[in-house]
Amino acid sequence: MKGSLCLRWMLVIALLFPCMRGVYAQVVVYEDFVPPRTFIYMRERFVYAQIHTAGFTIGYEQGRLSRKFVYSGWNVEFATQINPKTKAVNWYGQGRSYKYGMLNSFCMLRVGYGGLIVLNDKPHWGGVQVSLSYRGGFSLGLAFPQYVYVLYDTAGRDIRLEKMNPDNPRHLDVGYILKRGPVLKGFAGLRPYPGVYAKLGMDFEFGEAEKRSHTLGFGVLYDCYFTRIPLMAFKKNPPGFLNFYLEYKFGMRYGVR
C-alpha cells in the first residue's frame, strides 16, 4: 500500500516538473527583457555653471553625436579669475574693500571645441552615464585696472580717484586708501591678452527623461597666454592659470534619428 502511494506521488512530480520549469523560465525571461530604443537623439545643447579655485564660469555648448558613444561640439563661456592668496582690505570701513597691491581685475572669454567619450552608458529609463570630457580652444583674457580713492590731506578735503600705481608711495600704504573705485572706471583701460586653454574632466549624466540631461562634472583646466598677466604689484606675474573646477550642466536633446 505504501509502495503504491509513493509511486503515485513520483508520477505526479514527474508530470508537474516540466510545467514548473516552463513557468520559471518565463519569469526569468520577462525580468531580463530590455525594451529596445525606438529612437536616438543626435544633437544636444546645454548651458552650464562652474565654480573653480579662483572664480566662476558660465557657458553655452551645442554639439552632435558623431558615432556611438562619441559626442563632439563647440562652446563659448565667460570666466573670472582672482588671486585667492590676496586678502581684501577695508581700512576705513566705507563699504568698498579692495585687493591690496592688485593692479588689474581679470576675466576670460573662451571659445573652444571638444567632446565626450562615454565610458559607461546608461539604460534609457534612468541611471548614470560616465564620460571623459575634453575641451580646448582660444582664450581671450581681459585686464581691467583697479581704481582706488586716495587721501592726500589729513582733513579729508583732497580725495582723488586714481588707478593703482606701485610707483606712488600712497598707493602702498593702506592708511591713505579710503576704498575701491567704481568697477566701470577700469573699462577705459581694458587690455586684451590672447591665449589658449585646455580642459579635461569626468562627467556624470543622470536623469530619467531621455530628452533632458542633467550632468555633474569635475576636472582641471589651464589657460595659457602669450604674455604675462600684470595682476599684482611686486610679484612675479603668471603666464597662465591652473584651476580645478566643479560643474553643473542642464541640456536638451533633439534631432531624432
Q: Is the pLDDT of residue 23 over 50?
A: no
- Which of 89-98, 159-168, 186-195 has the least mean pLDDT? 89-98
* 235 half-sphere exposure, CB direction, 13 A CA radius: 16
Half-sphere exposure of 171 (CA within 13 A, CB side): 21
Structural contact between residues 52 and 77, judged by C-beta atoms closer than 8 angstroms: no
Task: Indicate the range of 8-17, 55-64, 142-151, 217-226 predicted with least confidence.
Answer: 8-17
Does the structure show a pLDDT above 50 at 33? no
For the chain, the straight-line distance linking the first and the last C-alpha, in angstroms and rounded, comes to 72
Residue 97 is predicted with a pLDDT of: 75
Please, are residues 81 and 193 in contact by the beta-carbon 8 Å criterion?
no
Return the pLDDT at 89: 66
Q: What digits encode the pLDDT tens for the residues 42-59? A: 788 999 999 999 899 999
Q: Which of 250, 109, 101 is nearest to 177 (CA)?
A: 101
Q: Which residue has the higher pLDDT, 68 or 147?
A: 147
**pLDDT for residue 15:** 56
pLDDT of 30 reads 42
Per-residue model confidence (pLDDT) at position 31: 43
Query: Per mean pLDDT, which range of 55-69, 100-114, 146-160 is the poorest?
Result: 146-160
Phi, psi of 76, rounded to the nearest 5 degrees: -135, 140
Q: Examine the pLDDT at 136 and tell me if it is beyond 80.
A: yes
Please name the amino acid found at residue 183: V
- List Cβ neighbours of 135 (8 Å cut-off, separation of 6 or more): 75, 112, 113, 114, 197, 198, 199, 200, 221
| 42/122 Cα distance (integer angstroms) | 16
Residue 124: pLDDT band by 50, 70, 90 thresholds?
A: low
Residue 122: is its pLDDT beyond 50? yes
Q: What is the mean pLDDT of the chain?
A: 80
What's the rounded Cα separation, in Å, for the pair 92 and 214?
Answer: 46
**pLDDT confidence of residue 34:** 47
How far, in Å, CA of 214 to CA of 208, rounded? 10
